Amino acid sequence: MKKLYTPDGNVQEIKINKSLYGKNTELAEKNLELLNQHNILAIDILGSIGSGKTSIIQQLVGKLHQKYRTAAIAGDITTTIDADRIKNRGAEVLQINTDGGCHLDANLVRIGLEALDLKSFDLILIENVGNLICPGGFPVGAHQRIVVVSTTEGPYMIIKHPYIFKDASVVIINKIDLAEAMEVDLEQLKKDALKIKPNIEVVFTNARTGHGIPELIKSLKINEK
């Protein structure tokens, strides 16, 4: 069963009315329109399980929620672990459980957006399901897409997944404190990303300590919307 956990603690079953299924890209455009009507910036955050997406969101929420009214939509196959982690940092969080679905799509994100009081937010961070393959084919209607990779995923993470980086504005290379132990060359990872997309921003972080988070915020161009 697909479930939605709202910020006020309610759990709803998500029933997908088949007639709602249009082309994902059209639904994504409608989501973007809705966000623009409310002057909200939305960022779709992709990355494998364990790459550090939730930790990055925790850091961003911690740094931004005083200035920008921030909500997060956390997508996971099951559990509310991520929503609980992010809530602790001061954002309103919706958890979407996809019940086996390996990505969020524009329709699920729409259901999430409709469950939020959009007048109350300036920034929405969307944590996609942990997976670097198929979310690439399902835009959700965010303004920007960022991809988190971790040094613990080894040296070939970027060159093996070129498609996901083509639509991204920022790649975060996380867990840089472990690069040496993993024998991963950070500059090579950066080169790999720039080879796929010459204008992508590359940011090095350690999400546990907050290293690199100010640079990440700069690269998101949040002020410009």
- Judged by CB, which is closer to Zn ion: 79, or 88? 79
Q: In the complex, what is the shortest distance from the CB of residue 77 to Zn ion, in angstroms, rounded to a whole number?
A: 10
Among 53, 103, 143, 175, binds Zn ion (CB under 5 A): 103
Closest CA to 72 of 24, 36, 122, 3: 122
CB of 36 to Zn ion, least distance (A): 26
Phi-psi region of 147 (alpha: psi -120 to 50; beta: other; left: phi over 0): beta
The secondary structure of residue 89, as a DSSP letter, is T
Out of 82, 92, 105, 153, the only residue in the binding site for Mg ion (CB under 5 A) is 82
Q: Are 208 and 62 in contact (CB under 8 A)?
A: no
| Listed ranges 53-61, 104-112, 130-138, 160-168: which one lies at the site for Zn ion (CB under 5 A) | 130-138
- Torsion angles phi and psi, residue 222, rounded to 5: -65, -35
What minimum distance in Å lies between the beta carbon of 53 and Mg ion?
A: 5
The interface region with Zn ion, picked from 40-48, 98-106, 112-120, 191-199 by CB under 5 A, is: 98-106
Q: What is the DSSP letter of 57?
A: H
Alpha-carbon gap, residue 8 to 77, rounded angstroms: 21
Instruction: Measure the CA–CA gap between 158 and 171, rounded to whole angstroms.
Output: 9
Q: Which residues 86-125 are close enough to bind Mg ion by CB under 5 A?
A: none
CB under 5 A: which stretch of 9-17, 21-29, 51-59, 131-139 binds Mg ion? 51-59
Out of Mg ion, Zn ion, none, what residue 53 binds, judged by CB under 5 to 8 A for its kind, is Mg ion
Q: What angle do CA 161, 42, 133 make, to 5 degrees?
A: 20
Contact stretch for Zn ion (CB under 5 A) within 16-24, 36-44, 102-110, 149-157: 102-110
Using CB under 5 A as the criterion, which residues of the chain lie in contact with Zn ion when the complex forms? 102-103, 134
